[in-house]
Amino acid sequence: MTQEKKIIGIVGARGHTGAELIRLIAAHPALELVFVSSRELDGQRVSAHSDAYAGELRYESLDPAAVAAKRADVVILALPNGKAAAYVEAIDKTAPDTLVVDLSADYRFDQAWYYGLPELTRGKWRGEKRISNPGCYATAMELSIAPLKDLLAAPPVCFGVSGYSGAGTTPSDKNDPEKLRDNLMPYALTGHTHEKEVSFQLGLPVEFMPHVAPHFRGLTVTTNLYLARPAKREDVLARFHHAYDGERLVRVVVVATLDNLLKGAATQAMQNINRALGVDEYTAIPLPL
């Protein structure tokens, strides 16, 4: 018997992550894309912007009430920080059983929402319908720190380098290839949202120094972990193997490298959706060879 597909929509689908989500959903046997909301692309065919999508669906410009009225099984909010609340409120009122996955930072500090970093929060899953997707840098930092968290004597210090896709599609110095050519640009050296996120989620202060580089995607974080007592290399490795050997999307030993648009956003969202819908966690997710 064929399982009936769950219907899913994306709000804020113009950006790089939106494009990745459309590709992942198009390959997903249990999901059917029913709407994509983008003011800039309103009326244009989705297939004109995504080689992976072959249907007749067009982008729409949907306000919060219109999104809620779709009564989708799943809604992904891929909006800038500070823009999710109106959509969440409308969905709470009209379609509270809808699974909402928010990719912004808006609910990462709200303990009423499930923080969807499966490799670290899998045991806290209680069937929540409101999932906050972790930040890309935050994912890398948390995965690199967590196995040694109880041995630390001082705050971890993380040096990060990201491709300019992490700066989004709105033009700025941080995503201008000409200004980044042969360059490494530091930014937000104090008060970075992901620094606050990691400190909150791990329950300890974390220092973070982000930089953007000329390449388009992917990020690397090198983490200094100051241990309270000496540890042998094999003991450190054993902790990481114990934490992550069963995790198919993680190959990490202190230096954490990931695709900011995939494990840092789109595939992490898909992991959370798959788990919430009760299908195999890695469905439609390209796995490393």
Distance CA 115, CA 110 (A): 9
Q: Which residues pair with 208 in a beta bridge?
A: 158
φ and ψ of 73, to 5 deg:
-70, -35
Distance CA 46, CA 52 (A): 10
Burial of 287 (0-12, 13-18, 19+ CB in 10 A): exposed
Catalytic residue (one of 8, 46, 136, 198): 136
Amino acid letter, residue 84: A
Residue 100 and residue 84 in contact, taking contact as beta carbons nearer than 8 Å: no
Active site residue 136: yes
Distance CA 44, CA 60 (A): 8
Contacts 24+ apart (CB under 8 A), 19-24: 19/49, 19/50, 20/261, 20/262, 20/265, 20/266, 20/267, 21/76, 21/78, 21/266, 21/269, 21/270, 22/46, 22/50, 22/52, 22/53, 23/50, 23/52, 23/53, 24/266, 24/267, 24/270, 24/284, 24/285
Indicate which residues carry an active-site annotation: 136
